[in-house]
Homo-oligomer: A and B are copies of this chain.
Amino acid sequence: MAYVKPEEVVENMLQAGAKKASLPVKQLLIRGFLSGAFLGYATTLAILAATQTGWGIVGALVFPVGFVMIVLLGLELATGNFALIPIAVKDNRVPFNRLLVNWTWVLTGNLIGSVTYAYLYCIVATKMGSIDPATIPALQRTITIAETKTLEYAKLGFDGTIAAFTSAMLCNWMVTLGAVMAFTSTSTIGKIAAMWLPIMTFFGLGYEHAIVNMFVIPAGMWLGADITIADWWLWNGLPVIAGNLFGGMLFTGFMLYWSYGKVNQ
Chain A residues at the B interface, C-beta cutoff of 8 Å:
1-6, 9, 26-27, 30-31, 33-34, 37, 41-42, 44-45, 48-49, 52-53, 55-58, 60, 62, 65-66, 68-69, 72-75, 117, 120-121, 123-124, 127-128, 130, 152-153, 156, 159-160, 162-163, 166-167, 169-170, 173-174, 177, 180-181, 184-194, 197-198, 200-201, 204-205, 207, 251, 255-256, 258-260
Contacts and interface: CB of A to CB of B under 8 A. Distances in A.
B185 A188 contact: yes
Nearest to A26: B258
Total copies of the chain: 5
A104 B41 CA distance: 30
Contact of A187 (B44, B153, B189, B200): B189
Contact of A3 (B69, B191, B193): B191
23 contacts: A1-B187, A2-B187, A3-B187, A3-B188, A5-B74, A41-B170, A41-B205, A45-B205, A48-B57, A49-B57, A65-B198, A72-B184, A73-B180, A120-B166, A123-B163, A124-B167, A127-B152, A128-B162, A184-B188, A185-B189, A187-B187, A187-B188, A189-B189
A124 B2 contact: no
B73 A256 contact: yes
Contact of A127 (B30, B45, B66, B159): B159
Chain B CB count within 10 A is highest, among A44, A69, A173, A198, for A69
A185 B187 contact: yes
A180 B188 CA distance: 13
Nearest to A162: B128
A6 B76 CA distance: 12
